[in-house]
Structure 1
Amino acid sequence: MPIDNQQLINLGLAVIRTESEAVASLADRLDDSFIRACEFLHGCQGRIVVLGMGKSGHIGGKIAATLASTGTPAFFVHPGEASHGDLGMITSRDVVLALSNSGETSEIITILPIIRRLAVPLIALTGNPRSSLAQEASVHINVSVEREACPLGLAPTSSTTATLAMGDALAIALLEARGFTAEDFARSHPGGRLGRRLLLHASDIMRQGDDIPKVTADTVLSEALLEITRKGLGMTTIVEGRHVIGVYTDGDLRRTLDRALDIHRTPISHVMTKDCKTARPDMLAAEVAKLMEEYRIQALPVVDSDNLLVGALNMHDLMRAGVV
């Protein structure tokens, strides 16, 4: 049956509105049960073991991943596999977080006696406070929804969204309770862009030693241009000893050519940029990138607290490091 564009939009809007209402309704359920669940999770000496079947299992995997990445060690166990050996992953130091919209998922109900014998706290997120799982749990959090977003009322949609939102609420409450910082997050995500932005310092990516472009104040412009070409940073530093007294960049060269100077006789000190911007080795690479973007410069010397040259980097170095 053909369907027009407006019908597609209307169907999409209906789903989004239904799921939004389901999530909004959870706000009234952040009560003592939520607090007790947070206390169990915060006091866990081992790991959070998340259980869920079907779509709840997919949501459980996401909740476990969010907990783990925000400072609460967690992993997901498939309930069907749990009764065939994977229950050995659960120890007496752990906390179990079980997800089931009906609260009667047979694979979870089957392993409840083993969880009970382990004497570990059991937190249940279900849509039925009178269900077997809810009654067995140490803490039950009600994530019921008025209706699924599926027009047939069959596909888990609103219910899984509500469960995911409640799982996120637990994870972020624990993040705050643990004093988890952006730096902590970066350490658990070293391969991601955020990790690089929060962990990499200028010293980690700067050119050092013979790779630093540098000339002295009496170097003629033509020799300075050769140094720029050799080192490939688009600039050279000008030093007295190891003290940086200026820089000369590709942009400075364009301005110099407008003045029709003799590049074989003009000392670099006559055309260099004095009082240039510099970076410190302990600056976050992201801070260096912000400085370069703010002043519209492509390369920077890196100096220590005594203004001694220790390195140099350009925007390409930052891009290769994944900072920008």
Structure 2
Amino acid sequence: MDKQKIIRVARNTIQEEANAIANLVDLVDEDFCKAVDLIYNSKGRVIVTGIGKSAIIAQKIVATFNSTGTPAIFMHAADAIHGDLGNILTDDVVICISKSGNTPEIKVLVPLIKNYKNPIIAITSNKTSFLGTEANCVLNAYVEKEVCPNNLAPTTSTTAQLVVGDALAVTLLDIRGFSSSDFAKYHPGGALGKKLYLRVSDITSQNMKPHVEANADIKKVIIEISENMLGVVAVTENDKIIGIITDGDIRRMLTKNEDFSKLKAADIMSANPRVINNDAMAVDAMEVIEENNISQLLAEDNGKYAGVVHLHNLIKEGII
């Protein structure tokens, strides 16, 4: 196995595709604006269709549209002419993806869509193809050649199609003023969504709430830390946080004092600990923990002790 050859081929593949994508910049024209206008002002959805590898790209573009505020569905070009045309509703806009623009399925499908009077946006490498001339507007995804040594396997062309789809989705996102909170609504189960909607209260409500009074003896402090399994206990007075004791503080106390029977929580606590509001975002709690190199953070609600956020909670939720 020639490792140098492997590295050379891989680098060449990436470089050639990068060059092809860079060339797309100069191909963005008024038709792109027209396509954006058609979708933005449509009362319906975006139907994205294609055949072969273009169909796979179409599915990815649909996923990107849906996650960024543009309702879309995928329709396979072959299935469309065998019953799936029923997916297309009156106000829908159709995006057809085809490198050549002359595949048999596309030649059959396009006239049928036009009969429904739905606008067609083409993403193709061939503006003069059947698809290119029949579409309402053409997004030029021209590539000089595939990076495949035989210039056969769809590689550079499908990458170009995907990039054009991304450009369309991001442009629509920008025009709509699609915000991070909007994004969170469509990604509630993923780590990205959790960073945008998960609050400290969502974590503290699931944890125990260890606390002792300032005059509590050390035995009670140790029991409270051990039973609640968070490695920390808040020291409170009238339900307000006045200090914190961690399991590390307990270990340091044991090494410094032969007799600790008379010590109280107030004697070993760290006064005025860092605290976060219970209504704050969990990602903000993560920033405080990282900046201060700590593992636990106390939370308060309206000035009263609300609970504990542990580093492990944030890891479990995928915030890190």
- When the two structures are superposed, what TM-score results if normalisation uses the length of structure 2? 0.96
Residue 187 (str. 1) matches residue 204 (str. 2): no
Change (3 A) 1:266 1:21: same
State how far apart, in whole Å, the 2-side matches of 1:20 and 1:320 are.
Answer: 37
Match of 2:312 in 1: 316
Q: Which of 3, 6, 13 is equivalent to 1:5?
A: 3
The residue type paired with residue 11 of structure 1 is: V
Match of 1:49 in 2: 47
State how far apart, in whole Å, the 2-side matches of 1:304 and 1:168 are.
Answer: 42
Match of 2:58 in 1: 60
Question: Secondary structure at the residue paired with 1:233?
Answer: coil
Match of 1:239 in 2: 236
The residue type paired with residue 267 of structure 1 is: K
Match of 1:173 in 2: 171
Q: CA deviation at 1:145?
A: 1.1
Change (3 A) 1:7 1:297: closer
Q: CA deviation at 1:261?
A: 5.5
State how far apart, in whole Å, the 2-side matches of 1:190 and 1:42 are.
Answer: 25
Asked if the contact 1:304/1:310 (under 8 Å) is kept, the reply is yes
Mapping 1:10-29, distance limit 5 Å: 10-29=8-27
Mapping 1:82-161, distance limit 5 Å: 82-161=80-159
Change (3 A) 1:17 1:319: closer
Q: Which of 238, 246, 249 is equivalent to 1:249?
A: 246
State how far apart, in whole Å, the 1-side matches of 2:194 and 2:206 are.
Answer: 20
Q: Which of 295, 298, 317 is equivalent to 1:298?
A: 295
State how far apart, in whole Å, the 2-side matches of 1:128 and 1:297 are.
Answer: 58
Q: Which of 196, 215, 218 is equivalent to 1:218?
A: 215
State how far apart, in whole Å, the 1-side matches of 2:153 and 2:55 are.
Answer: 14
**Equivalent pairs, count:** 320
Asked if the contact 1:208/1:312 (under 8 Å) is kept, the reply is no
State how far apart, in whole Å, the 2-side matches of 1:99 and 1:149 are.
Answer: 19
Deviations 1:274-302 (A, max 9, x none): 01011111111111111112112221221
State how far apart, in whole Å, the 1-side matches of 2:186 and 2:206 are.
Answer: 29
State how far apart, in whole Å, the 2-side matches of 1:154 and 1:217 are.
Answer: 76
Runs of 4+ in structure 1 over 4 Å off: none
Asked if the contact 1:299/1:313 (under 8 Å) is kept, the reply is yes
State how far apart, in whole Å, the 2-side matches of 1:315 and 1:116 are.
Answer: 57
Change (3 A) 1:17 1:317: closer
- Which is worse superposed, 178-187 or 213-222? 178-187
Residue 270 (str. 1) matches residue 264 (str. 2): no
State how far apart, in whole Å, the 2-side matches of 1:250 and 1:184 are.
Answer: 41
State how far apart, in whole Å, the 2-side matches of 1:208 and 1:65 are.
Answer: 33
Asked if the contact 2:146/2:152 (under 8 Å) is kept, the reply is yes
Asked if the contact 1:207/1:313 (under 8 Å) is kept, the reply is no
The residue type paired with residue 206 of structure 1 is: T
Q: Name the Cα RMSD after superposition.
A: 1.5
The residue type paired with residue 106 of structure 1 is: P
Percent identical: 40
Deviations 1:207-229 (A, max 9, x none): 479x3111111111111111111
- When the two structures are superposed, what TM-score results if normalisation uses the length of structure 1? 0.94
Change (3 A) 1:246 1:188: same
Change (3 A) 1:199 1:147: same
Change (3 A) 1:67 1:268: same
State how far apart, in whole Å, the 2-side matches of 1:13 and 1:267 are.
Answer: 65
Question: Secondary structure at the residue paired with 2:121?
Answer: strand
Q: Which of 226, 230, 237 is equivalent to 2:227?
A: 230
Deviations 1:234-269 (A, max 9, x none): 111111111111111112112222321533221111
Instruction: Give the gaps of 5 or more residues in structure 1.
Output: none
Q: CA deviation at 1:135?
A: 0.9
State how far apart, in whole Å, the 1-side matches of 2:2 and 2:307 are.
Answer: 62
- Which is worse superposed, 50-59 or 7-16? 7-16
Question: Secondary structure at the residue paired with 2:49?
Answer: strand
Q: CA deviation at 1:189?
A: 1.4
Asked if the contact 2:28/2:140 (under 8 Å) is kept, the reply is no
Asked if the contact 1:208/1:310 (under 8 Å) is kept, the reply is no
Instruction: Give the gaps of 5 or more residues in structure 2.
Output: none
Deviations 1:144-195 (A, max 9, x none): 1111111111111111111111111111111111111222222211121111
